[in-house]
Structure 1
Amino acid sequence: MNKLLIIDDHKIFTDGIRFLIEHTTDLKVVGVLHTGRSVIPFLENCNSDIVLLDIDLPDITGFEVASLIKKSHPSIKILALSMLDDITSIEKMLNIGANGFCLKSGGWDEVSTAIQTLRTGGTYLPHGYLRRLIGKQDKISESRLTSRETEIITLICEGITSADIASKLYLSIRTVETHRRNIYLKLNVHNNVELMHYAKKHLII
């Protein structure tokens, strides 16, 4: 897997990335294209293993190009390139079938790492996306807390025992412990100390 096609309408970028690829890797650049509509005709005559695909092209979008590539040449691995790292664009490209998403602002080191990740069968995603995705999952977990569970979290973080919580809320100790286990599962914590740290970090209390 060493044939690579570059699709980007900024010549200064394509000249630079081509130079770096040809002089620092064993990859062979089979072509450089500056429009989206030229991609499929090119691939019909010249095979490629990996495509570096800019999202913002002058004629059709990188999303459309990725979709066309996956329909006609599903084995080709696509590494999307963009200046933007919004979750919507990344997830849209992944849903189309792209194998990675790389930020141009990350420089050659990031592009090189992303290409190598694809060559070894992996999926490359920007670090910022992964951090935001974790935060997004946290918010989803928090939104699933019931009002009673939020109330119990507050009391736990005040250092109140299960017995006292049960008495205060007119519940059985067994019910309080059941709520506690459910809270741990939803927030992926394992004890009261972790729960307190999580609650303070995410402003639940």
Structure 2
Amino acid sequence: MTAETAGTAAVPITLLVVDDHPVVRDGLRGMFTSASGFEVLGEAANGVEAVDLVARLDPDVVLMDLRMPGGGGVDAIAELARRGARARVLVLTTYDTDSDTLPAIEAGATGYLLKDAPRDELFTAVRAAAEGRTVLSPAVASRLVARVRAPGNEPLSSREREVLALVARGTSNRDIAKELFISEATVKTHLTHVYGKLGVKDRAAAVSEAYRRGILG
């Protein structure tokens, strides 16, 4: 045994497992207990319990599910960040939709893995999280990159909002030009920019998307 290995064994990475399914908690506890270099300090069935146990046990890493009755993972992550908890949170869930991944990462999660990740990948992720390094499953990383690159992330200018508001009232390009004291060609240019930013192809879709996003009230 090398000195490095001995050091790792002597100071294991401590874990808190948070999941509302007992079978999942048992499986994760067994997996990490059987591997060298890890110690499971406790388990929680929801986010509220997790916050309380983190305060009491001070783990290095929290394996956090997201959708749990009695207290979700995102709220727990945000509360741990608010309290300045030392623990790093590694989300481990079955959900990889934007509505799950983005709030969790914005709340302060260090990493995000899916439950179908191979055990070696999970071990590596926990070690990385303990060191404060960001860990994302390939599927989640791809979604985040796609979201950043996708149309619709650039805000509309004040003039583009004015044009869109008039379009929503059913105003023609010619009448929009008259009302805003610009040429009809300029109106068309603004609309082209609006379509690109909203990721749509026509006036009706632009208005619908603008209402959906709250751009038009």
TM-score range normalised by the length of the shorter chain? 0.5 to 0.7
2:131 to 116, 120, 123: 120
How far has the Cα of 1:36 moved from its partner? 2.2
Query: Who is 2:116 aligned against?
Result: 105
Query: Who is 2:70 aligned against?
Result: 59
2:104 to 90, 93, 98: 93
2:30 to 19, 22, 38: 19
Deviations 1:75-106 (A, max 9, x none): 21000111011123111111111100110022
Whether the 8 Å contact between 2:112 and 2:140 is mirrored in structure 1 is: no
Alignment partner of 1:3 is 2:26: no
Query: Who is 1:200 aligned against?
Result: none
How far has the Cα of 1:58 moved from its partner? 1.5
Deviations 1:101-148 (A, max 9, x none): 11002242332222122123310111012223333444349x9xxxxx
> Superposed, which structure 2 residues align to 1:30-45 within 5 Å?
30-45=41-56
- Structure 2: runs of 5+ lacking an equivalent: 1-11, 155-217
Aligned-residue sequence identity (percent) comes to 24
Query: Who is 2:214 aligned against?
Result: none
Aligned equivalents of 2:50 and 2:150: distance in 1? 40
Query: Who is 1:29 aligned against?
Result: 40
Whether the 8 Å contact between 1:36 and 1:61 is mirrored in structure 2 is: yes
How far has the Cα of 1:39 moved from its partner? 2.2
Query: What TM-score do the two structures reach when normalised by structure 2?
Result: 0.59
1:130 partner letter:
A
Alignment partner of 1:84 is 2:84: no
Aligned equivalents of 2:92 and 2:33: distance in 1? 19
C-alpha distance 28-131 of structure 1, shift in aligned 2 (>3 A): same
Whether the 8 Å contact between 2:13 and 2:127 is mirrored in structure 1 is: no
Aligned equivalents of 1:98 and 1:58: distance in 2? 20
Question: What root-mean-square deviation, in Å, do the aligned CA atoms of Structure 1 and Structure 2 show?
Answer: 2.3
Whether the 8 Å contact between 2:15 and 2:42 is mirrored in structure 1 is: yes
Query: What TM-score do the two structures reach when normalised by structure 1?
Result: 0.62
- Structure 1: runs of 5+ lacking an equivalent: 144-205
